[in-house]
Amino acid sequence: MDYIIVELDTTAPTIEIYAPAYTTREASVEITVNADETLGRSNNEVYIIDESGTRHDYTFDIYGNQMVGVIDFNGFPLGLARLFVRVRDEVDNISELYEKVITIKDSLTILKLDISDSKKSNIQNNDIERKAEIIEKNRPLTITSGKSRTKE
């Protein structure tokens, strides 16, 4: 007797959402969703519920096991935007509902970085020795309009 073994895929896909933790209303943000198996072409859910409770639905492009889309946050209220994603694989297994929180801020210039623990170092490049600057103290770094300046 000959036998045929049939394996059924009943496992729901698991996903990872790649999105920023914060953005501004002026920014358009690329969101990427990676799944552990090939995604189906229809019935995938991607939506955001903003700070005021309004739902915004989106359609992302699908490339095998990846979905990619751009979200424009213009018109969103400041505060938390909750991104939700649920996908189907190519045999219609449905994933759980995944969530990623994105904070929408008025401006990103309020961020402050701190440079510390700088040490003197020697760098050799094509037999030319260069010495790096010695920084004796921590310096706060202020970011403005994509450019940076240091304050002593």
Mean pLDDT for each consecutive 10-residue tract of the chain (152 residues)?
83 94 89 94 93 95 95 92 95 94 81 46 42 47 47 42
- Structural Rg of the chain based on CA atoms: 24
Residues 96, 99: Cα–Cα separation, whole Å: 10
- Outline which parts of the chain fall under CATH 2.60.40.10: 15-105
pLDDT of residue 124: 44
For domain 15-105, the CATH superfamily is Immunoglobulins (2.60.40.10)
Q: What is the largest CA-CA distance in the chain?
A: 85
Give the pair of three-digit tokens for residue 10. 């009943």
pLDDT of residue 111: 52
Q: Judge whether 102 and 20 are in contact, CB under 8 Å.
A: yes
74: Cα within 13 Å, side-chain hemisphere: 5
